[in-house]
Amino acid sequence: MTIHREGYKSIAVATLLFGAINLIIFWFLPALPVWISAGIFMITLAVFLLIISFFRIPSRKLTINDDQIIAPADGKVVVIEEVFDTEYFNAKCLQISVFMSPLNVHVNRCPVAGEVIYNQYHKGKYLVAWHPKSSTENERHSSVIQKGKYQVLVKQIAGALAKRIVNYLEVGQKVNQCEELGFIKFGSRVDLLLPPDVKVNVQLNQVVQGGVSVLATFS
């Protein structure tokens, strides 16, 4: 397991705060009851470890297959439905959405290999990530990858806790399947808009792993 580069600053700040709070408690407030001091230590330690865990990148054998669409993020499948996309396709698409809790790995990966032909940031609201309108009204970053005759739209969506979306892609860039495309800090969701005739390989509420689980297969 490694730590993602997006977490270096946050972990450094968390380390300083953890050390400062407990130094004050144990050095400058020795008169506090032991159970209070111990309780504060345990709470701050739990928060510190949670922050480290949030930026983890576990070692995995990634799934590489030109005929398959791989999960762009860890989490739970919360949407599988046909929608009409007005941002890019102006046509019916199949939407598969993966909700990421704060406990999930939060690196986002390219579901297919190809060329980035669209990459756009949109300001928006911070509705809870499972809200039906979060896909179109929340802050988000949309990227379209052209793979042969197919186009796949990946939408990183901010939620009530997620206040920063990081996207590494640029128009014209060639990407590999499962390559990192970005990061969303502190919980949210990723939507995929796919050709309507793909074969779906997952079910609602199924837990998937980014870069590993097969969401759909090109027909």
Nearest by Cα to 87 from 126, 141, 132, 147: 141
CA pair distance 126, 128, nearest whole angstrom = 6
List the catalytic residue out of 142, 143, 188, 213: 188
Count of other CB atoms within 10 angstroms of residue 62: 14
Report the distance separating Cα 88 and Cα 34, nearest Å.
60
Residue of 100, 113, 207, 123 whose CA lies nearest to 152 = 113
Is 188 one of the catalytic residues?
yes
> How far is residue 112's CA from residue 97's CA, in Å, rounded to a whole number?
16
Q: Output the six-digit token pair for 175.
A: 């990407």
- Nearest-CA neighbor of 106 among 3, 213, 214? 3
Active-site positions?
188
